Amino acid sequence: MIFINEWLANPAGNDASGEWVELFNSGSSTVNLAGWKLVAGSSKFSLTGQKIGGGEYLVLPRSQTKLALRNTDGELSLYDAGGQPVDSAGFVGSAPEGKSFARAGYSENSSFIFSDPTPGALNTISAASNIIRNTYPLNVPLVKPLGTAEFFGLLLGTAIVLTAIVMFVLKRNEDLSKLFFRGDEEIR
């Protein structure tokens, strides 16, 4: 399987000349990446002519991909030639300068952590040092704020659920039902 293995969004110095993305083939056979795409925000890069051998790494510098990686709330996705999602990774908050966002393990549920960059090589992640260096920044929300459409969707959904609950209670209670739905009838 092809994984996003590591990416450097906030290099020390110039982002345009220092950013890169690294892919890893965890399988044993070579994979032709023709037609595959890397997506970072609204930027896309189509891999053409690249192949990645079993157990090998492929480092793609920004000068080749033209992908501008975000230093804050970064996201990166990989799609196969059929347009199907293969892998994705993202972080909330700011990327520490000079640290890559590196995969810790090779499964669909493996996590990423900021670490010392290792382009073209096995990620070296020291648990003790990363716990100290990877503290979550203060005053940065864990959840992105809702957009206008999301807010009104949430508001509409809440209104529908509350209306359904009120209608259920009114219909289940005979006196309330008569009061609200048959107001002209005499209540015993």
> pLDDT of 11-70, one tens digit each?
988 888 899 999 999 999 999 999 999 999 889 999 988 999 999 999 999 999 999 999
What is residue 107's predicted lDDT score, i.e. its pLDDT?
Answer: 65
What is residue 167's predicted lDDT score, i.e. its pLDDT?
Answer: 85
What is residue 186's predicted lDDT score, i.e. its pLDDT?
Answer: 56
Q: Tell me the β-bridge partners of 76.
A: 89
Average pLDDT rounded to a whole number, residues 119-125? 86
- pTM for this prediction: 0.66
Contacts for 1 with CB less than 8 Å, ≥ 6 apart: 25, 26, 27, 86, 106
Average pLDDT rounded to a whole number, residues 104-115? 77
Asked whether residue 185 carries a pLDDT value surpassing 70, the answer given is no
What is residue 140's predicted lDDT score, i.e. its pLDDT?
Answer: 59
Q: Which of 10-14, 82-86, 109-113 has the highest mean pLDDT?
A: 82-86
Report which of residues 35 and 175 the model is more confident about: 35
Bridge-based pairing state of the strands 37-40 and 75-79: antiparallel
